[in-house]
Amino acid sequence: MTQPPLLTHNNKINILAISGSTRAQSSNLDLIKAIADLTADRFSITIFEGLSVLPHFNPDLDLDTENAPPAVVNFRQQLQAADGVLICTPEYAVGVPGTLKNALDWTVSSMDFSQKPVALITAATSGITAHKALLGTLLIIESKITDEMQLVVSSVKTKVSKAGKITDPDTLFQVNKLIHAFTDVITGNGVPVYLPAPSAR
């Protein structure tokens, strides 16, 4: 059963946005800002800024809730407070950025992504290989994702400006389609068809 969104004081939906790049000025951060502008009427977007300060995943500390690293506690709390999560990430050496995968590893046992609506955009030179891997990870940890809530934006630097604007008409159309699907899942509008977790084979 879909839980009602935890609306902010201005009746907007709480979204935690995560950029998979730790660069201060990245195309993925520009894309998040573009989406924030497009959804200003409905979303209150908070950009997670602690990706680079999360410690390396340590299974011995993972289940020790009393002594969990403060940065991990903060990350988990922000995830729990969000109605949905927006992830925009590059592709590094045809793989998922290590800092992003490390962050997700800290949420497996605590199940912070379980039943959480997630919109995933991989924006890179290509992005296809990393996107498939990251999508699989998110589905394994039980994120709620429909086909319309995931998108690859190849050649991103030619489609999103440093001013935080989507300059390519087709990309703008696809991002708006993702936004509408994301909103519908969070608000319980319609009967979404969620993507299944990948097979272990």
Per-residue pLDDT tens digits for 6-49: 665 578 999 999 999 998 889 999 999 999 999 999 999 999 99
CATH T-level topology, domain 13-187: Rossmann fold (3.40.50)
Closest-CA residue to 106 (of 52, 78, 68, 144): 68
pLDDT tier, 3 (very low <50, low <70, confident <90, very high otherwise): low
The reply to whether the predicted model has a pTM over 0.85 is yes
- Expressed in angstroms, the distance from the first to the final Cα of the chain is 30
Dist CA 178 CA 12 (whole Å): 18
pLDDT tens profile 70-93: 999 999 999 999 999 999 999 999
What are the two backbone dihedrals, phi and then psi, of residue 150, each rounded to the nearest 5 degrees?
Answer: -140, 140
Residues 120, 151, 173, 126, CA torsion sign: positive
What does the pLDDT look like over 140-161, one tens digit per residue?
999 999 999 999 999 999 999 9
